[in-house]
């Protein structure tokens, strides 16, 4: 007997999508910039310039790629300051109801994040939403890279989930690139790391709320 293929599956991004941590990200980014004497960045400028791999983002601000020593210093500083500020952040508005509704409809969902796995799992549990997901995967290797190969591996571990019936919901262009690389679709949300103009260049639906993201994901998966 073959595998049962679920009706539809959502792969959620965590930072900037389910987890509204924009303030912590900007604070940690500016702390990292200060290590190299760079001026602080505003949320608007961050959303206009942010990209992955993260060293390319720094290149846009510095006019050159950071050296390996500079990258390691900035990366360590970012994560140290982010860890300090993250406990003050919460879930994005309406997340609990959206996750419960999707699950109640008999559909599956998971999380794939480039946030460290050892930090991600207890954080998801702390918010009381872990049971909504069939799998939660965070980053296990070096930080700063693309999500594409991680997405392929993530979908490959999900029993009964077809990439063609899967929609990735995230706040970064890289979420959509990773989805397409893995044979899935994507919906991008403007409430996180990217501005609308940056997201619209990827060629997937762009929405201003997670409720709209779920609605569009349902339409895509049913199509």
72-84 pLDDT, tens digit each = 999 999 999 999 9
Dist CA 108 CA 135 (whole Å): 10
Position 1 scores a pLDDT of 31
Name residues of the chain where pLDDT drops below 70: 1-6, 144
pLDDT of residue 144: 66
Mean pLDDT rounded to a whole number for the chain: 92
Give which of 172, 166, 142 is closest to 154, Cα–Cα: 166
| Residue 102, preceding peptide bond in cis (omega within 30° of 0) | no
Q: How far apart are CA 124 and CA 116, in angstroms?
A: 12
**What are phi and psi for residue 184, nearest 5 degrees?**
-105, 180
- Are 165 and 182 within 8 A, CB to CB? no
- pTM for this one? 0.91
Instruction: Encode pLDDT of 60-74 as tens digits.
Output: 989 999 999 999 999
Q: What is the pLDDT of residue 6?
A: 53
Q: Are 178 and 85 in contact (CB under 8 A)?
A: no
Structure tokens at 203: 């060629």
Give pLDDT, residue 3: 39
How much is the pLDDT for 2? 36
Q: What is the pLDDT of residue 142?
A: 76
């Amino acid at each position: 007997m073959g595998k049962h293929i679920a009706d539809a599956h959502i792969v959620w991004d965590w930072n900037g999508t389910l987890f509204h941590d924009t303030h912590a990200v900007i604070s940690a980014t500016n702390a990292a910039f200060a290590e190299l004497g760079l001026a602080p960045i505003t949320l608007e400028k961050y959303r206009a310039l942010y990209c992955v791999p993260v060293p390319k983002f720094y290149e846009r601000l510095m006019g050159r790629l950071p050296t390996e020593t500079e990258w390691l210093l900035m990366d360590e500083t970012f994560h140290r300051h982010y860890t300090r500020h993250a406990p003050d952040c919460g879930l994005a508005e309406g997340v609990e109801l959206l996750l419960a509704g999707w699950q109640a409809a008999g559909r599956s969902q998971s999380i794939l994040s480039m946030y460290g796995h050892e930090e991600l799992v207890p954080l998801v549990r702390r918010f009381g939403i872990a049971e909504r997901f069939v799998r939660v995967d965070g980053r296990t290797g070096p930080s700063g890279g693309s999500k594409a190969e991680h997405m392929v591996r993530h979908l490959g571990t999900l029993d009964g989930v077809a990439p063609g019936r899967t929609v990735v919901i995230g706040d970064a262009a890289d979420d959509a690139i990773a989805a397409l690389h893995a044979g899935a679709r994507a919906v991008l949300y403007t409430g996180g790391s990217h501005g609308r103009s940056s997201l619209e260049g990827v060629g997937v639906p762009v929405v201003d709320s997670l409720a709209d993201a779920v609605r569009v994901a349902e339409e895509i998966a049913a199509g």
